[in-house]
Amino acid sequence: MVSTRTGVKIQAVIYRCNEGPEFLILHRNPEHGGFWQNITGNVEPEEDLHEALMREIGEEIGIKQECIDRVSDEIMAFRFWAHGMDFIEHVYAVKIDGSCSVDISRNVDHEHDEYRWMNLEEALSMVRWYTNADAIRIAFLLASTACMSAITPSDKKN
């Protein structure tokens, strides 16, 4: 898919709950840099951040909205320079239903050739960019709470 660069990007830190949070890390094929990362993508003209986030998740890993359990508010944003222009990237933590399957084979740009579910330490050791690692660290705080409540029902009584 050809994209018109708006200078605005999204990043999705995808996680699921197993015995604890597991993060989905994607490997970009050699033609696209050959490194591990979170989902990232351009916000298209006339698209808001949430629409871009949902579109990129669908395009890159084949996950439909009904498999998404929770989308955080923006957890961080950062600026960087690339392709001769200034970008701002907005980052979200996205919890998906553990029973839903990831499918990278249908990605239009064929930018990823592999994916893995990883615990925090593995994910941090694999990603190339410190901004991806920072996003995973922040998402881990949210994911730990979400996964704890998913495993342990609340027994609060007033």
Q: pTM here?
A: 0.90
157 domain-assigned: no
Q: What is the pLDDT of residues 103-121, one digit of tens each?
A: 999 887 889 999 999 999 9
Query: What percentage of the chain carries pLDDT values higher than 90?
Result: 84
51 domain-assigned: yes
For residue 119, the enclosing domain spans 8-151
156 domain-assigned: no
Please, what sign has the CA dihedral across residues 124, 126, 127, 129?
positive
Per the structure block, which two tokens stand in for 157? 């009584």
79 domain-assigned: yes
1 domain-assigned: no
48 domain-assigned: yes
pLDDT at 108: 77
16 domain-assigned: yes
CATH number for the domain spanning 17: value is 3.90.79.10
In angstroms, the first-to-last Cα distance of the chain is: 54
Structural domains in the chain (count): 1
